[in-house]
Chain A
């Protein structure tokens, strides 16, 4: 049950913390770092409320060990860039998708909203003009119990339009730049010469 030092790169900021290797990323975000925007809605990886971006790829924070994303100086591995909902606002203002979710009723109780925003950020990057069917498919990993999803589609369309008009210029999220469309990001692990298996004692 020994804690290990991990180095995580979250919202462009590096955190060095000592955690049990069995600790889930969601628990680290919420309990250790007070980044409580990512929510726990289920216990069986089905609801998507905890979605964060890892190197730009939507990932369930409740279904991943935090240590998996840490740097490893012995192996020369840099930490993977994690973006949570707290890293989405731009220069102190709402990003286009956040503003549109408010204006179009995409958020009611708001509990699932951070997860949806992360999923939609990735969708808008990979597919700048999604059709209705593509939006439906893309949101399929996040459950909402309030909205019936309809108003989210309006919000996404509005955000797409707003970004296109340049009314609100979105900055790329950390770790996003340079990734080809529809091509899941290649983890930085691959750049490292050494292959590495992590051995994580469980309490």
Chain B
């Protein structure tokens, strides 16, 4: 089917063996002579002023080499240039339980922990805010002085004529949806090792090297330079293996800065690795979200208008928040053809750990609301839920009402595939009470068309070096975090250069060695770094082809590189470029040249040594084919060591509309997903079992089908977790479940079978047509499950997760006609109005953290002896 010899094939990730043997090194696996261990003191209060901070007792403890506080690095930073509201350690105030107060660097972990107990802090407890709707009304004791009403940012967008759209609609649905807060829970807790060199000239501290579990080495380098007042050129960030990110490592996390500051003060390398609890405090996950959604449709199913008011409970710092709230609105577009959109988005600060980017950034909770409401409207007008999605498809290529350019659109095929595979027509609504099917669709960007740092620089640059050994070394800034970016880069380069994968060595994510790439987030790597790799490979290929053409006495465009060989077109060896069996064989059977291979000329392959096979061939004059290394050596003979470079910046046409905030949402290409969930509901217990999920995903072109399936299944599975099990449960800013025992990421036992179907729409701008595959499938599964629950038992849940108590409560209300909500703390999961006082599935009555007596959110007027007192 394809003309490709490397891409499109299911291959093991190039770094797989390091992972399956345990040989691969993650940051916490690294150690250095003289290395100290850093431990951080965290705030026990959700909102407090630091009156006194005395570290002298800690500093005096034997084995303690440095104790640092906010004063040691007061410069502000934040991942967004407009959101610089964090400091390495608290300056003046703490803003959530877990906020960073001080750090001890000591010769052992136990000494560091003992020293933390010797730090004396006196706090003045301030009123705190936990509910975003309450927080928006705040006028005093603001979380950040420069943010009135604790409002990080609000946006108000109108496209088309929503009012006319609703007037014209035959059916309008309007409801509030709530989504609980969830977190990445990557298996690797964050870790950073920081070390300074001694400068040969000044003999003082010189360059800083930081090894860190990060998705964004260049942003880390940038923020370190701001906080430490050092030139970026004096900072080297190296990303070892990263044990999963999902967005949780896509910005600068406090320990990364703290380790560097501590290393500077201690004059020794410092490693900090978070405990699992600290990972939950660092968080940056998906915020609790309130979605007030209104949708209108005509009798024929066409959507006339959508209005969404979205409030995100963003936690105590900006993080990626402004981008999150913009994605929530922008990606109402580009999935279906919607003529009118009104969007009001509010990103609100509260005294909880900061929320940030998490897989499906900004789109997931709104998509849950939208796809649920569309299902409801389909039932209202008596239309099949799959059909209403068919009716509203985009006609591509197009630019949506909110300025998003869509060029490739595999959604129609995704929908047909999951409908057929799930036997939708035969089974939906026909499996008896207690079992049902539900459908949901979603999409996601293949990278943001506008970088968060506004500049004209390319978003990705890749360099390739090929020397006389015939080895292809690729220098890419892309951050491999398990998604397979190193493999993607290797495959694209090997495909273009017609060489075997074994020739290719990847040097990645090291700011000293690799050109700038803005990181692994928003599913940008395959599209952007892949395109840069493609261009770099084409660049270097020109030189090889020119030399080979000279050797073979033909025009450069007659030269074909494939299967580790270079040959002239029109040769019997399958040189027409088509997929002849012989050629297929060549490409598959041509790994790194083995000893005894006649094209190998000695220990250093490719060198033309006297008396060697190549010398002989050279003497024989023009030929019609050459080995890869012969061609490489020929090119190096002409022009010196080979290097190629390629970069990628999204085209201006893809960069979106001019409205304020219009820079977020546009992407050079969008992935598409459709899913059908088959669920059973136990009506006695409210337990929901997902029997199977059919997931079709349009990834443009699957460069490595195994990796694509892995990403799609992983996304769907993570969505199942959010739909049924996962939530961060709060009591007055105290996280009740900061561990993997109580934050329930699904185990193998209850995880459903996911049947993954790949759709290839071949995007005109993607590398070989490829688009994203790692995030777009997450959002569809939550509404697919919600809709399947409705299909099974007729209850419409508008609050995630669909815990058994919520399902049972709704079932009981359905049966008795009256709401029996004692099981859900008084809240109706079918018509939630606000987050429970403390959110989560429980209403905790206990004392919780100490609170200021003037605290407006103080529950039930309980008195607090420590109010405003010292700790």
Query: Which A residues form the contact surface with B (CB < 8 A)?
Result: 30, 34-47, 49, 84-86, 88-89, 94, 97-99, 101-105, 107-114, 117, 135-137, 139-140, 142-152, 203
Contacts and interface: CB of A to CB of B under 8 A. Distances in A.
Interface stretch (B11-19, B671-679, B852-860): B11-19
Q: List the 7 shortest-distance A-B pairs measured between CB atoms, nearest first.
A: A37-B22, A110-B19, A109-B482, A148-B717, A111-B243, A102-B16, A85-B22
A109 B481 contact: yes
A119 to B, nearest CB: 10
Interface string B23-59: 1111011010000000000000000000000000000
Nearest to A151: B710
B244 A111 contact: yes
Contact of B713 (A45, A46, A151): A151
B707 A111 contact: no
B682 interface: no
B22 A36 contact: yes
B706 interface: yes
B745 A149 contact: no
Interface string B726-767: 000000000000011100010111010110000000000000
B20 interface: yes
A94 B17 contact: yes
19 contacts: A30-B29, A35-B22, A36-B25, A38-B22, A43-B739, A101-B16, A103-B11, A108-B13, A109-B187, A109-B244, A110-B20, A111-B186, A137-B749, A139-B747, A143-B745, A145-B185, A145-B187, A147-B710, A148-B754
B716 interface: yes
B188 A111 contact: yes
Contacts of B748: 135-137, 139-140, 142, 144, 149, 152
B702 interface: no
Given A43-B276, A146-B714, A148-B716, A113 B20 contact: yes
B188 A37 contact: no
A43 B186 contact: no
A99 B13 CA distance: 11
Contacts of B13: 102, 105, 107-108
Contacts of B477: none
B275 interface: yes
Interface string B259-280: 0000000000000000111000
Most B CB within 10 A of own CB, among A42, A89, A105 = A105
Nearest to A88: B21
Contacts of A104: 706
B529 interface: no
Interface string B700-712: 0000001101100
Given A44-B740, A140-B748, A150-B754, 10 more contacts: A37-B22, A41-B740, A47-B740, A102-B12, A103-B706, A107-B16, A111-B482, A112-B243, A150-B717, A203-B110
Contacts of B31: 34
B189 interface: yes
B187 A150 contact: no
B710 A143 contact: no
A41 B10 CA distance: 29
B79 interface: no
B493 interface: no
A162 B20 CA distance: 17
Given A110-B482, A143-B745, A151-B709, A44 B17 contact: no
Contacts of A140: 747-749
B449 interface: no
A98 B710 contact: no
B483 interface: yes
Contacts of B717: 147-150
Contacts of A137: 748-749
A35 B484 CA distance: 25
Contact of A109 (B11, B29, B186, B277): B186
Nearest to B13: A102
A129 B853 CA distance: 64
B527 interface: no
A147 B748 CA distance: 10
Contacts of A111: 26, 186-188, 241, 243-244, 482
Contacts of A112: 187, 243
B246 interface: yes
A168 to B, nearest CB: 13
Given A110-B19, A148-B713, A36 B29 contact: yes
Main secondary structure of the interface of B (DSSP, over half): loop
B706 A42 contact: no
B714 A37 contact: no
A60 to B, nearest CB: 13
Interface in B495-532: none
Most B CB within 10 A of own CB, among A109, A117, A144 = A109
B25 A145 contact: no
Contacts of A38: 22
A98 B19 CA distance: 9
B242 interface: yes
A75 B188 CA distance: 40
Contacts of A135: 748
Contact of A110 (B24, B28, B716): B24
A108 B740 contact: no
A114 B188 CA distance: 13
Nearest to A98: B20
Contacts of A35: 22
Interface string B176-200: 0000000011111100000000000
Most B CB within 10 A of own CB, among A85, A89, A111, A152 = A111
A47 B746 CA distance: 11
Contacts of B110: 203
Contacts of A203: 110
A144 B20 contact: no
B713 A147 contact: yes
Nearest to A115: B187
B465 to A, nearest CB: 27
Contact of B482 (A47, A89, A103, A108): A108
Contact of A43 (B10, B25, B277, B482): B277
Contacts of B188: 39, 41, 109, 111
Given A101-B20, A108-B714, A150 B243 contact: no
Nearest to B278: A43
A104 B707 CA distance: 9
A144 B184 CA distance: 12
Contacts of A109: 19, 186-188, 241-245, 481-482
Contact of A42 (B26, B246, B276): B276
Contacts of A97: 20
B20 A44 contact: no
Contacts of A144: 187, 748
A42 B741 contact: yes
A112 B714 CA distance: 14
B17 A98 contact: yes
A135 to B, nearest CB: 8
Contacts of B18: 110
Contacts of A105: 13, 706-707, 709-710
B482 A146 contact: yes
Most A CB within 10 A of own CB, among B23, B275, B740 = B740
A153 B748 CA distance: 10
A55 B20 CA distance: 21
Interface string B145-185: 00000000000000000000000000000000000000011
A94 B187 contact: no
Contact of A102 (B17, B22, B29, B187): B17
Contact of B706 (A46, A86, A148, A151): A151
A198 B246 CA distance: 44
A97 B20 CA distance: 9
Contacts of A143: 187, 740, 745, 747
Given A94-B21, A102-B12, A39 B243 contact: yes
Contacts of B747: 139-140, 143
B740 A39 contact: no
